[in-house]
């Protein structure tokens, strides 16, 4: 059986970054940047004031307290009409260009605030409170590299560079196939033996969180023909993500259907819990993930295998895998020791230290074990238990409060 790392390497080997497309700036948030962002101008474009105060010559205030005559105002967005000369000052607002002749800004708090004349109480070093031209970025400088996911900071940078359009990775379409005779839709009446198809909603949300496009194709009954037909249709999308039907049950048809469709199976089982039966296949040049049916198995195997693949497919080059941290365990974990186990935990930051609180139920069908889980604590093969207070490795899969 493959280790998780071996399986991840096999997944990533199947993925090449897909095409890029040009989108309006307003649609760029959450997408993967596919061009280097290069500053076209120095920013700021000229020396400007970091404070509301007075633009002065440092030499004039060396003997503070001194009084200077005020020649007028220079507000943000406006240019000074006069230069500062010996013995004079201009009242200046934050962001306004420092006028000719001045080299220093005295913040208003160090003055009497006068408009005709101003008393400066304190000498300042030359250049104080001046933001220098180009101190943020220089023309020609690469400020964001291709391959980065576009968040709020990148949106601000794109705007600063006046990029009204931007090249981003195309969103791969991910077909979501839910297998199982027991499944009903959210709006169908409950019936004995039937359960709601929660995986379709779980997986669609996880797909969208990566930035890819989810296509929910619906429920497929557990028979050979229906399963073949469903995968045949699903293979029109860039990726196929199925749940259920990959175990050794008498009604598990996913692998057989993929065989019939000429798929090349890359692996079937991974030494992990939950989620041992995970299939990776390639068919008609599409990558197919056959995830197990249990919701938590879907959840964990999505974070470990599918999300990194989708990110790479969009051209993302960093943070492909969940970050690993070390956290102090709040309550003990028990394992059979035969496989690596991923326990759902709630990571908290307490007094500068991360703590991992295992969710109360850890069954692979437990939806409650996913609510509030922002970490997957790892207990390795061969280890049968970890006591409270021990430090454990945890994969971060959500925001830490
Ligand atoms: P399977 O992998 O098909 O043997 O399914 C394993 C378990 O997951 C069974 O208890 C199924 O009822 C459950 N399951 C399968 N598919 C889904 C689904 N789409 N939503 C919720 N639970 C499911
Ligand atoms: Mg099934």
pLDDT at position 364 is 87
Q: What is the mean pLDDT of each run of 10 residues along the chain (401 residues)?
A: 97 98 98 97 97 98 98 97 97 98 98 98 98 98 98 98 98 98 97 98 98 97 97 98 95 96 97 95 98 96 98 97 98 96 97 96 91 97 96 97 79
The answer to whether the CB of 247 is under 6 A from ligand 1 is yes
The answer to whether the CB of 48 is under 6 A from ligand 1 is no
Q: How far is CA 315 from the centre of its chain?
A: 13
Give the atom of ligand 1 at the shortest distance from the alpha carbon of 297: 8
Q: Calculate how far, in angstroms, residue 345's C-alpha sits from the geometric centre of ligand 2.
A: 27
Map residue 358 onto helix, strand or coil: strand
Cα torsion 232, 235, 237, 239: sign: positive
Is the full-model pTM beyond 0.85?
Answer: yes
Q: Calculate how far, in angstroms, residue 251's C-alpha sits from the geometric centre of ligand 2.
A: 7
pLDDT at position 53 is 98
For atom 11 of ligand 1, the residue with the nearest CA is 293
pLDDT at position 308 is 98
pLDDT at position 362 is 87
pLDDT at position 137 is 97
> 185: left (phi > 0), else alpha (psi -120 to 50), else beta?
beta
The answer to whether the CB of 292 is under 6 A from ligand 1 is yes
Q: Calculate how far, in angstroms, residue 334's C-alpha sits from the geometric centre of ligand 1.
A: 24
Give burial (CB, 10 Å; 0-12/13-18/19+) of 270: buried
Distances in Å between the Cα of 57 and the Cα atoms of 6, 15, 105, 376 are 66, 61, 8, 59
The answer to whether the CB of 113 is under 6 A from ligand 1 is no
Q: Calculate how far, in angstroms, residue 311's C-alpha sits from the geometric centre of ligand 2.
A: 28
Give burial (CB, 10 Å; 0-12/13-18/19+) of 338: exposed
Q: Which of 195, 217, 253, 274 to mutate to test the pocket of ligand 1 (most atoms within 8 A of CB)?
A: 195
Distances in Å between the Cα of 332 and the Cα atoms of 30, 358, 371, 392 are 37, 8, 20, 11
């Amino acid at each position: 059986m493959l280790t998780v790392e071996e399986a991840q390497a096999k997944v990533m080997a199947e993925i090449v970054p897909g095409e890029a497309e040009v989108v309006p700036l307003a649609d760029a948030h959450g997408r993967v940047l596919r061009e280097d962002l290069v500053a076209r101008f120095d920013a700021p474009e000229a020396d400007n004031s970091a404070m509301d105060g007075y633009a002065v010559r440092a030499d004039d205030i060396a003997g503070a307290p001194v009084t200077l005559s005020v020649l007028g105002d220079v507000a943000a967005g406006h240019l000074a009409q006069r230069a500062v000369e010996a013995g004079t000052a201009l009242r200046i607002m934050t962001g306004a260009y420092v006028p000719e002749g001045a080299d220093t800004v005295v913040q208003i708090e160090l003055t009497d605030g006068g408009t005709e004349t101003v008393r400066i109480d304190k000498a300042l070093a030359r250049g104080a409170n001046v933001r220098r031209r180009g101190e943020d970025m220089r023309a020609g400088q690469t400020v964001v590299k291709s391959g980065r996911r576009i968040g709020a900071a990148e949106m601000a940078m794109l705007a600063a560079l006046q990029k009204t359009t931007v090249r981003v990775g195309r969103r791969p379409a991910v077909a979501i196939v839910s297998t199982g005779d027991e499944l009903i839709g959210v709006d169908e009446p409950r019936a004995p033996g039937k359960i709601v198809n929660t995986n379709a909603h779980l997986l669609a949300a996880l797909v969208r969180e990566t930035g890819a496009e989810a296509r929910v194709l619906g429920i497929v009954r557990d028979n050979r023909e229906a399963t073949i037909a469903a995968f045949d249709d699903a293979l029109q999308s860039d990726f196929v993500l199925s749940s259920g039907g990959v175990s050794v049950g008498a009604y598990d048809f996913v692998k057989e259907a993929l065989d019939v469709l000429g798929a090349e199976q890359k692996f079937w089982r991974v030494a992990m819990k939950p989620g041992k039966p995970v299939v990776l296949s390639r068919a008609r040049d599409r990558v197919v993930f056959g995830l197990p049916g249990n919701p938590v198995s879907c959840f964990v195997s999505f974070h470990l295998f599918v999300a990194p693949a989708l990110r790479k497919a969009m051209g993302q080059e960093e943070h492909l895998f969940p970050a690993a941290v070390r956290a102090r365990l709040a309550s003990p974990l028990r394992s059979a020791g035969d496989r690596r186990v991923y326990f759902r935990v709630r990571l908290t930051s307490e007094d500068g230290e991360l703590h991992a609180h295992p969710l109360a139920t850890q069954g692979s069908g437990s939806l409650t074990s996913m609510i509030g889980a922002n970490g997957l604590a790892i207990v390795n093969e061969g280890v049968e238990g970890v006591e409270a207070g021990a430090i454990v490795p945890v994969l971060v899969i959500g925001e830490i409060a």
